[in-house]
Amino acid sequence: MQLLDPKIDIVFKLLFSHPDHRDILISLLTAVLRPKSPIAFVEVLNPEMPKELPDDKGAVLDVHVRLADGRHVDVEMQSALHSGLVQRLLFDWAKLYTAQLHPGDTYRQLCPCISVTFLNDRLLPTDRLHSIFRTVEVNELYELSDALELHIIELPKLQTGDTDWRIEHWARFLLARSETELQELAMTDSDMRRAKQALDELSQDPAAQELARQREMARANLAIIRGFEREEGRTEGLDQGLDQGLARGLRHEVATLARVFGLELDEHRRAQVESMSAADLEVLIDRLTRLRSWPPSE
């Protein structure tokens, strides 16, 4: 059995929004929020999946949670940076905060809202794995309100500075690439053992497997389009530049298909893929999609 990758946003949501997985959701939130008292209850307010998923490349697959004290927490996985990410995080927080008010409500009824973003890329100019943002006075650093709180966990910074073992364990879980890595982690922590069990169960679900596969292909196609558009702008329509930009996107899709279908992409095959033209890559992608196998070696 090939384990699903929890860094795929749809897998992340399926894993942490499932009603049988409230324990691992509480463990994840505890690691991030470091509450003064234990989190005893969470309510997932949006367990449903968008109807157009997985073709909606812009879908935000967040997990919207309400805690027992009324606070709202929005948790999501971002596999890569994109233009305007910081602005989008602030915009989403603002929507979450203002959506609490209904006709006749007063501003005093607004509860704090917390945004938690796991990012499989580097965004901030520090080495911290886990960064926290609040509203503070810039001179004396006292807090204006606890209503706004943004957490950004940059997974590539796992080895560079954070000392809280709980958030480190969850980062290792999300980054694990093999059954062996997960098993070693499960042996050190009961929460990680439970998380591995939940991921094992999800990975055996054919519907989840298909959603993850389609979501990965949709992301790869989007990468091709973006690469094509960037290259088109840089080369002002020169055919050579367009082909180079398209080929880079197609190589990314080949790597994604290999991962999704469990096909070994060794050094020899990587070298072959790197040497292919855009036209040859399109032929290879068509074969991988239809037959889920590499061409016979020459």
Q: Which residues contact 213 (CB under 8 A, 6 or more apart)?
A: 260, 261
Confidence of residue 244 (pLDDT cuts 50, 70, 90): low
> Span 240-262, mean pLDDT?
70
Per residue in 3-15, pLDDT (tens digit) is 999 999 999 999 9
**Domain positions in the chain:** 9-204, 207-291
> Span 179-201, mean pLDDT?
94
> Span 269-291, mean pLDDT?
83
pLDDT greater than 60 at residue 140: yes
Give the rounded percent of residues in the chain with a pLDDT score beyond 70: 84
Confidence of residue 160 (pLDDT cuts 50, 70, 90): low
Tokens 């999501």 belong to which residue?
76
Residue 67 in contact with residue 73, Cβ under 8 Å?
yes
d(CA 58, CA 209): 20
> Span 24-34, mean pLDDT?
96
Cβ atoms < 10 Å from Cβ of 162 = 18
> Span 38-46, mean pLDDT?
93
Which range (1-5, 133-137, 148-152, 200-204) has the least confidence?
A: 1-5
- Closest by Cα among 181, 134, 178, 176 to 155: 176
Beta strand 143-154 with 113-119: parallel, antiparallel or unpaired?
parallel
- The pLDDT of residue 289: 73
> Span 100-117, mean pLDDT?
94
d(CA 110, CA 125): 32
d(CA 159, CA 164): 12
Task: Please provide residue 80's backbone torsions phi and psi, each rounded to the nearest 5 degrees.
Answer: -155, 160
Amino acid identity of residue 120, one-letter, is N
> Span 149-161, mean pLDDT?
88
pLDDT greater than 60 at residue 39: yes
d(CA 239, CA 231): 10
Which range (70-74, 124-128, 265-269) has the least confidence?
A: 265-269
Beta strand 72-78 with 63-67: parallel, antiparallel or unpaired?
antiparallel
Cβ atoms < 10 Å from Cβ of 240 = 9
Highest mean pLDDT among 27-31, 249-253, 268-272 belongs to: 27-31
| Angstrom distances, CA of residue 201 to CA of 4, 27, 153 | 10, 18, 26
Confidence of residue 81 (pLDDT cuts 50, 70, 90): confident
Residue bearing the bigger pLDDT, 242 or 50: 50
Torsion of CA 126, 112, 13, 214, to 10 degrees: -70
- The pLDDT of residue 236: 43
Residue bearing the bigger pLDDT, 243 or 270: 270
Average pLDDT, the chain: 85
pLDDT greater than 70 at residue 55: no
Residue 110 in contact with residue 101, Cβ under 8 Å?
yes
| Angstrom distances, CA of residue 90 to CA of 75, 117, 149, 185 | 13, 11, 10, 34
Q: Which residues contact 86 (CB under 8 A, 6 or more apart)?
A: 123
Per residue in 195-238, pLDDT (tens digit) is 999 999 999 999 999 888 888 877 766 665 555 545 544 444 43
